[in-house]
Structure 1
């Protein structure tokens, strides 16, 4: 073999090793999940395709002489190169894509490879005659397959970040909308808390905003900035809201942190705001916000009226300064506190997961540091409680006296009773919980999730039989994600299978929209059961959920839909799930970006040097939805169920049909608030 070919193979080998090491580093989370089978399958497919290319080249090129060794070495080199190149391309660049996306990339690359292979083959035949036909066939094969492959690959990857440099020089990056500030290069817009846009969306033209809230309620809004220039910064502050008597409302401000949701944006950008970093934070990712050309930077501001706050008007001043510390915006914002009070106990029962695991590790809690773990556990628990959400797990063992105060807290609507395999311990847990009627209503078992076949329901029956024997009168929730299950050849409904065993019937929101599921649940409510629903990595499409790329109004409207269906509780499997991705680095917290942010509503603050958990914009909208549900409960008691349903129907007509008009939504909310204040 010539020295030039040996050098080429050596360089190829070096690049292969480097790419392979990089792919292993980048694909850590994918390999950790154990998708080795998919990796091997796709790698083998690509290796075969590209090996075929090289083999066809050596066999059909009549203009050059190839030894048998070359005919073997060249395909082997191609095999080795692609065995490493695919993980680098498919996993390294995409940072641990899901098997579905990996398959798309593999299919696209395979199309390209076959296109090139056929082109080479037919081109080789052209040296033996039929030159025009052969070359034309080669061109058609190459063009059709390569274009198809590029399309499939692009759609599979869906990563627009490589277009960002083109965005900055495009006309779109200068079309930023907004209202001018005193700095000619910076514009602003005020927005409702429910508004969430792709980061390169042009700003609206709202020069100011006003808010309204009940006593014992939080209410927020956003102020958003953008620039068409470079090297611009903005910092924002806000005073407490104050009335004419000098009474104040606690007010907070956060800088919104943006994250990519690959493939779910527009031509140039797929970043959405989510993490809310307190402006008082002095660690990482803090300080004046650096404005990127054509991209939004929002700040979230919220205030709270306490139960003893005076009703009436309050004002606060929002101030923004640029990189030169020049005041570029000063706006007085009005808040109206209505003369009615939300109860401490939410009308909407909730059960939100609050596990630990990787969340604690990313927060900086070391193994064995019980004191730090307890501190973080309490911080997460209290954050959820402050936002009217009840965590699954109490911050202390049920048998610990410190748990008593939490079980008695009116803000806590539910908690999990551990399902111990030890009979004596199980009975001890249950005996303590049932010693207090209030605790007994809140406590529930949750030993099995989403049974969907005969085997799962056999296990379910074993559990419920044991609980009936050891813990008579127990409460249990068993979320179900299918309306029908076939057992022994007979089709049975999930509600039918759980009636009399799970006192809390909890279906996936989309399942309640199927067949007679909702009707069956409502019938069982008449017999003493409770009706909850839940969302998770499903449903998608037009259904409301808590995914990062969904408009904030969809997080909040879920509770409006819930009330219209007479569903009394909301379950969500986790708020701190970080096992598949560091949420500061990737939004793919579950298996793909179509459920971006699933199971993760609270960020590990320790990762950026903040002492405590970091809330999300989604969490704030969910909390607002919980407060809306309280409005409905109060209004139903005063004006009747029909009156409430008429209001809800103005914004929600079905699980997949609802308004996207933020102003209309706020108008209807205020209609209810004003009516309650004047009643």
Structure 2
């Protein structure tokens, strides 16, 4: 069901010189006893990526690996390999975290590691949508320091059903050219910084995420007889590949796009004309990404007048640009928000102590909003507590534990659970405020503690040539980003099963993984069993469906 998930045999192994294959839903930390297997068995849909972890024995500094090729009934599949790096957590996010070293950055395999820390390879296999279903096999050959370790057999089962390249769930995760430039010590106006921004955007898209912000440069505009004449050439050069499906070979596209406000617009009439031109440009290009205007973030009561003014101005430009407001439900918000985005905590009553000023379950929330209003959600420090470390009051600590979370020092099922939760609740989209926040405040390689949590607002690391030994800078993706993508592919599995006529069974599968925003299944074996059963049910429904009978569909 999601990318990055290995269907592995979780049998305890005696100590041996060979490597162990471990589920990606286990965060491999120093001193932790592991269960695993001597071989890897993966199952993935066409159009999906699956990963697993290979833990090498002993104290290893340098790793080299031969390319892993898997042969079967169709074109050979290739695997991507990374070495897991570690971040030292000095202040736990809450009682679900802990001090010490946690895996997160995914480094090129040849980057030397600390021999005192586990040597873990993250191995990922992706199947194109046109891949022929069937069984593919190969063998991972690795050398640790100067000695070879036992080869790891890989078996990959490519399923007949396919996932769409573009996410079915709209998302919008923040990223900024200026933060990236700062993290990589580049001038933001330099060609190198713009090239790097595109690489970050592609990395998000590879993980089924759409970005807002990007360069944040508004297209130049002038006004002729009240009409906005906008030069979209630089904007199109930056963004068109992400809207047109040419950024990646898969054809994946951004699902959303933020309207970039322009300081060149001085009057109300000019601002309205500019927004109208933005919407007209998207229509003329045929871009399917949903435009939105991001109003004042988490407005205080005294800022609601500004939000109403912003909303009125955007609505005057037409119906193509919904206004997004990040807020819990309160009086007056309904008239302004076309997309209302409360925090995750605002959807699930917890009774003992609420961490949202107005908790309203989604079904009830929709009844209180204007017809057609969409509901997104987003994670904040309310998912772990905003002060860092366990709270002194046990009731407060309980209120902030168990939530779906993107923190480094939280269990991987919490990182992954937003996708199944989105399917179960029927929420319309997900927002996340930033993916490179710590680039502005600290050296992320030394820690990503922000807003009381380890990794809040930071899902990348700045891969500088000095650190990686590469010729060019590059984004270093995190293990958490893999888990987020896995969750979005969980969503696709469940969404596809519902489309094939099994909506209630799909909901039952989702409930086994995430019963509410703070009741996430943490047993890896349960996730594995749900994965296996859901795959079997999907395959059965797919084989009997009209989709499988269409010309050109591989079986």
| Normalised-by-shorter TM-score class | 0.7 to 0.9
Q: Say if 1:520 and 1:431 are closer, same or farther in 2 by CA, change over 3 A.
A: farther
CA separation in 1, counterparts of 2:501 and 2:66? 38
Give how far 1:195 is off. Answer: 1.4
TM-score, length-normalised on structure 2? 0.78
Q: 2:345 aligns with which of 494, 504, 510?
A: 510
Bigger share in helix:
1
* 1:236-275 → structure 2 map (5 Å cutoff): 236-237=64-65, 239-245=67-73, 247-264=75-92, 270-275=100-105
Residues 473 and 383 (structure 1), Cα distance of their counterparts in 2 relative to 1, 3 Å cut: closer
Q: Is the 8 A contact 2:323 2:339 kept in 1?
A: yes
Counterpart secondary structure, 2:382: coil
Please name the residue that 1:157 is paired with: none
* Structure 2 CA distance for aligned equivalents of residues 258 and 244 of structure 1: 35
Aligned mates of 1:419, 1:328 — CA distance in 2 = 56
Structure 1 residue 350 displacement after superposition: 0.3
1:300-315 correspondence to structure 2 within 5 Å:
300-315=122-137
In 2: Cα distance, 1:660 partner to 1:413 partner: 30
Q: 1:300 to 1:526 in 2, by over 3 A?
A: farther
SS in 1 for 2:212: coil
Flag the 1:626–1:268 CA change in 2: closer, same or farther, 3 A. Answer: closer
Matched, 1:406 2:242: yes
CA contact (8 A) 1:179 1:206 kept: no
Q: CA deviation at 1:432?
A: 3.5
Please list, as runs of the form range in 1=range in 2, the aligned pairs for 1:362-441 lying within 5 A after superposition. 362-366=183-187, 368-369=189-190, 371-393=191-213, 399-400=232-233, 401-402=236-237, 403-409=239-245, 411-421=253-263, 422=265, 423=268, 424=270, 427-437=273-283, 439=287
Aligned residue runs from structure 1 range 618-633, under 5 A: 618-633=480-495
Unaligned runs of 5+ residues in structure 2 are 1-11, 220-231, 246-251, 350-358, 385-400, 543-555
Of 112, 115, 118 in structure 2, the residue corresponding to residue 291 of structure 1 is: 115
Contact kept in structure 1, 2:135 and 2:155, CA below 8 Å: yes
Q: The residue matched to 2:65 in structure 1 has which SS?
A: strand
Report the Cα distance in structure 2 between the residues aligned to 1:268 and 1:394, rounded to whole angstroms: 33
- Sort the Cα spacing of 1:290 and 1:467 in 2 relative to 1 into closer, same or farther, 3 A: closer
> Residues 226 and 291 of structure 1 are in contact (CA less than 8 Å); yes or no, is this contact kept in structure 2?
no
Query: What TM-score, normalized to structure 1?
Result: 0.65
Q: Deviations over 1:263-301 (max 9, x none)?
A: 439999611000001225xxxxx14x4421xx4221111
CA deviations 1:612-664 (Å, max 9, x no partner) are: 11110000110111111111111111123212111112222222222211122
Give the number of the structure whose alpha-carbon radius of gyration is greater. 1
CA shift, 1:419, in A, is 2.6
Unaligned runs of 5+ in 1: 1-176, 281-285, 484-492
Match of 1:332 in 2: 153
Q: Higher mean Cα deviation, 331-340 or 456-465? A: 456-465
Higher deviation after alignment, 566-575 or 236-245: 236-245
CA shift digits 1:466-499 (9 cap, x unpaired): 222344553121112xx4xxxxxxxxx33x5332
Match for 1:554 among 414, 422, 427?
414
State whether residues 216 and 342 of structure 1, in contact with CA within 8 Å, keep that contact through their aligned partners in structure 2. yes
Per-residue CA distance 1:513-563 (angstroms, 9 max, x = gap): 144352343336882121211003231121011011011111111211121
Q: 1:526 to 1:220 in 2, by over 3 A?
A: farther
Is residue 604 of structure 1 aligned with residue 450 of structure 2? no
> Which whole-Å CA distance do the structure 2 matches of 1:647 and 1:301 have between them?
26
For 2:180, the equivalent position in structure 1 comes to 359
Q: Which residue of 2 aligns with 1:128?
A: none
Other structure's SS at 2:42 match: strand
Residue number in structure 2 paired with 1:154: none
Task: Identify the residue that residue 586 of structure 1 maps to in structure 2.
Answer: 447
Residue 178 (structure 1) shift = 5.8
Which whole-Å CA distance do the structure 2 matches of 1:404 and 1:368 have between them? Answer: 20
Higher strand share: 2
Q: Evaluate the alpha carbon distance shift between residue 668 and residue 542 of structure 1 in structure 2; reply closer, same or farther with a 3 A threshold.
A: same
Post-superposition offset of 1:408: 3.5
Distance in structure 1 (CA, Å) of the matches to 2:415 and 2:340: 22
Structure 1 residue 211 corresponds to structure 2 residue 42: yes
The count of corresponding residues between Structure 1 and Structure 2 is 470
Q: 5 Å matches for 1:461-500? A: 461-480=308-327, 483=328, 493-494=329-330, 496-500=331-335
Structure 2 counterpart of 1:195: 26
> RMSD value over aligned CA atoms?
2.6
Match of 2:504 among 629, 642, 647: 642
Match of 2:225 in 1: none
More relative contact order in 1 or in 2 (CA 8 Å, sep 6+)?
Answer: 2
Which residue does 2:298 correspond to in 1?
A: 450
CA distance in 2, matches of 1:654, 1:272: 26
User: Equivalences for 1:163-202 in 2 at 5 Å?
Assistant: 179-182=14-17, 188-202=19-33
- Measured in 1, the distance between the counterparts of 2:82 and 2:137 equals 19
